[in-house]
Amino acid sequence: MTDTDQDWRPARPRMAAGALFFNDEGHVLLVRPSYKPKWEIPGGYIEEGESPLTACRREVEEELGITPAIGSLLVVDWAPNAAEGDKVLYVFDGGELQPEDLNAITPDGDEVLAAEFHPADAIDALLIPRLARRVKRAIGARREAHPQYLEHGEPPPLDV
């Protein structure tokens, strides 16, 4: 073992998972957290031993009080943050919510103060920039039925 080997440590990023839900007009469901100034998508941090999909389902139920089907992965985003460390963020397709789920949405009132649908062209004004980039890419991935790998909300340059 060399001195360099002793300094090597595997990455231990924080991970979070969320879902994009839509209404019949194609608007995106956003949640208003009590602890942040900007809107978010439903979701949250993954707990130890929990899969990203399971975490997404749990967070949606905790925040909104509903248990809709969560579909395929839309985006994985590597998003290091100087203050919070490395993050790996997953966005899943929640699809178009059915009337029974729409009528049952109940923000938890603790972490989530409101849940509202917004047109996609309002995303930049409502979300922090890195989340806005991620959500717009996820909407595109859903339309194209092709998941995307991102870094800071953008496709990385490809080596060709």
Q: Give the pTM.
A: 0.92
Average pLDDT, the chain: 93
Burial of 103 (0-12, 13-18, 19+ CB in 10 A): exposed
- 59 belongs to a structural domain: yes
Look-up of token digits 């496709």: 155
Give tens-digit pLDDT for 112-127: 999 999 999 999 999 9
**What local confidence, expressed as pLDDT, does residue 159 receive?**
74
Calpha distance 85→106 (Å, rounded)? 32
Residues 44-73: tens digit of each pLDDT: 999 999 999 999 999 999 999 999 999 999
Tell whether 111 is covered by a domain: yes
In a domain, 35, yes or no: yes
Inside any domain, residue 1: no
- Predicted confidence (pLDDT) per residue in 92-108, tens digit: 999 999 999 999 999 99
Q: pLDDT tens digit string along 73-88? A: 999 999 988 888 899 9
Give the pLDDT of residue 160.
61
The residues with which 29 forms a beta bridge, in sequence order, are 117
Residue 157 domain-assigned? no
Answer whether residue 48 is part of any domain.
Answer: yes
φ, ψ at 98 (rounded to 5°)? -80, 160
- Tell me, what CATH number does 35's domain have? 3.90.79.10
Confirm whether 55 is domain-assigned.
yes
Q: How far apart are CA 39 and CA 36, in angstroms?
A: 8
Do residues 124 and 51 lie in contact, with contact meaning Cβ atoms separated by under 8 Å? no
Sequence-separated (6 or more) residues with CB below 8 Å from residue 153: 77, 79, 129, 130, 131, 132, 133, 134, 137
Tally the domains of the chain: 1
Q: What CA–CA distance (Å, rounded) separates 127 from 111?
A: 17
Does any domain span residue 7? no
Structural domain containing residue 121: 12-151
